[in-house]
């Protein structure tokens, strides 16, 4: 038997260790490859930052975001695109879908361009058709066309349901998407396909966009010569204030109207809130303070955790002994409903007309980035007695409607009924 030399033994040891090393590398590589491909989908998305941000709410149940990241990763790997993926738009779309999933038409995400449009509308500096719209019974509905705007001139009416904007159906369309489509540059045209209550056939109404100047107030005071014929039915003792919205200019305008009423020496008031889509809560509280003693509750703001914030009268009180009727209709919404509900429940006014729109929720603007924000519903409005305004609206004390025949004949049965009521013993209503 031959003896094994030291060199041969050394060579065999090297070969053995080399084989073991290669086997370990192979096992490690296979494991790493297997683990890499089995890692969470979030880790596979390499082009996203801040993936590990946590949900801050302590009450939030654990949510598995794996399906979201799998979807994103699948698009990254498989979607056919010659121009690259619009990753920023993908993110905006995901957030918009998140907001839309709540089923609340007033909770909306605003990407950069939509944010600019929203801010211009809040300032009252925009171009469009001039109407307030909302979602009612899952349908895009006209709350009110604004006075003197293209929408009003074209024949758009409160309660009209918008089925199409140009050729785009509005089913499942968000409220703010509808606003974006309807608004546009002065001089351009938009065609609205609508259906009107009591009619079976749809109508196509063409509206030419214009610069919108939002009106504030109208009275039948001694300085309004052009309104004498219009408000002749009101009589010598009755003063009429028509408030078109509750924007930041409404406070001064309302005070001026009260001064007109004082100079006119009239001692009864009809407050016309028909087709008034609302505005700032603070304005509604301030105006209610002319009827209510200091400290009386005007509205309650109720949050999801049961907390309530009370908004109280400032106690101006100049109108607390003035007989008052408030005119409302389907276009009376938000701040209009807050004011009307408060004065009704405190026994300071009688409501005449139709059931109001039912927009009783509170939104907050939450910055998401420097160029985007989320408008999210954070609370519900309640009347002083705790009645929710949302969806249900307010029922009038005395119902009165305006028919198509009334409009053709330029009659206003609601105003006539208000005059009749205010000239009767209001305590019997």
Active-site residue flag, 359: yes
Which sign, positive or negative, has the C-alpha torsion 119, 122, 127, 128? positive
DSSP one-letter string for 111-173: -HHHHHHHHHHHTT-EEE--EEEEEETTEEEEEEEPTTSHHHHHT--TT-EEEEETTEE-TT-
Which residues is 373 bridged to in the sheet? 110, 367
Give the Cα separation of 337 and 247 in Å (integer). Answer: 15
Return the closest-CA partner of residue 354 out of 333, 334, 327, 335: 327
DSSP one-letter string for 188-206: -EEEEEEE-TT-SS-EEEE
- Among residues 266, 268, 348, 359, the one annotated as catalytic is 359
Structure tokens at 4: 């094994």
**SS3 (DSSP) at 291:** coil
Active-site residue flag, 30: no
**SS3 (DSSP) at 81:** coil
- Among residues 177, 330, 337, 345, the one annotated as catalytic is 345
Active-site residue flag, 354: no
- Among residues 275, 313, 332, 334, the one annotated as catalytic is 334
Catalytic center residues: 334, 345, 359
């Amino acid at each position: 038997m031959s003896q094994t030399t030291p060199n041969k033994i050394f060579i065999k040891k090297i070969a053995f260790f080399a084989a073991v090393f290669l086997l370990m590398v192979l096992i490690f590589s296979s494991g790493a490859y297997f683990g890499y491909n089995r890692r969470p989908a979030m880790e596979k998305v390499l082009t996203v930052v801040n993936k590990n941000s946590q949900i801050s709410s302590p009450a939030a149940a654990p949510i598995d975001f794996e399906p979201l990241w799998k979807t994103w990763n699948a698009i990254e790997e498989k979607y056919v695109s010659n121009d690259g993926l619009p990753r920023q738009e993908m993110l905006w779309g995901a957030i918009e879908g998140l907001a839309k999933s709540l089923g609340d038409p007033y909770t909306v995400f605003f990407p950069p361009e939509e944010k600019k449009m929203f801010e211009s509308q809040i300032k009252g500096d925009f171009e469009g058709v001039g109407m307030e719209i909302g979602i009612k019974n899952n349908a895009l509905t006209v709350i009110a066309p604004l006075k003197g705007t293209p929408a009003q001139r074209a024949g758009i009416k409160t309660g009209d349901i918008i089925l199409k904007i140009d050729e785009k159906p509005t089913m499942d369309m968000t409220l703010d998407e509808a606003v974006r489509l309807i608004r546009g540059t002065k001089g351009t045209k938009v065609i609205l396909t609508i259906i009107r209550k009591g009619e079976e056939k749809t109508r196509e109404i063409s509206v030419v966009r214009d610069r919108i100047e939002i009106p504030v107030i109208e009275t039948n005071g001694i300085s309004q010569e052009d309104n004498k014929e219009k408000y002749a039915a009101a009589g010598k003792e009755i003063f009429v204030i028509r408030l078109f919205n509750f924007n930041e200019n409404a406070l001064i305008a309302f005070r001026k109207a009260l001064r007109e009423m004082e100079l006119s020496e009239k001692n009864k008031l009809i407050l016309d809130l028909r087709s008034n889509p609302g505005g700032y809560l603070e304005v509604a509280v301030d105006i209610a303070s002319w009827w209510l003693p200091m400290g009386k509750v005007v509205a309650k703001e109720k949050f999801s955790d049961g907390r309530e914030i009370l908004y109280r009268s400032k106690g101006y009180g100049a109108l607390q002994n003035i007989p008052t009727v408030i005119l409302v209709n389907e276009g009376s919404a938000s701040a209009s409903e807050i004011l009307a509900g408060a004065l009704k429940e405190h026994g300071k006014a009688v409501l005449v007309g139709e059931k109001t729109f039912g927009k009783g929720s509170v939104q907050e603007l939450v910055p998401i980035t420097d160029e985007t924000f989320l408008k999210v519903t954070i609370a519900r409005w309640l009347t002083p007695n705790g009645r929710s305004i949302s969806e249900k609206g307010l029922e009038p004390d005395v119902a009165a409607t305006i028919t198509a025949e009334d409009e053709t004949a330029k009659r206003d049965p609601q105003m006539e009924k208000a005059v009749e009521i205010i000239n009767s013993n209001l305590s019997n209503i």
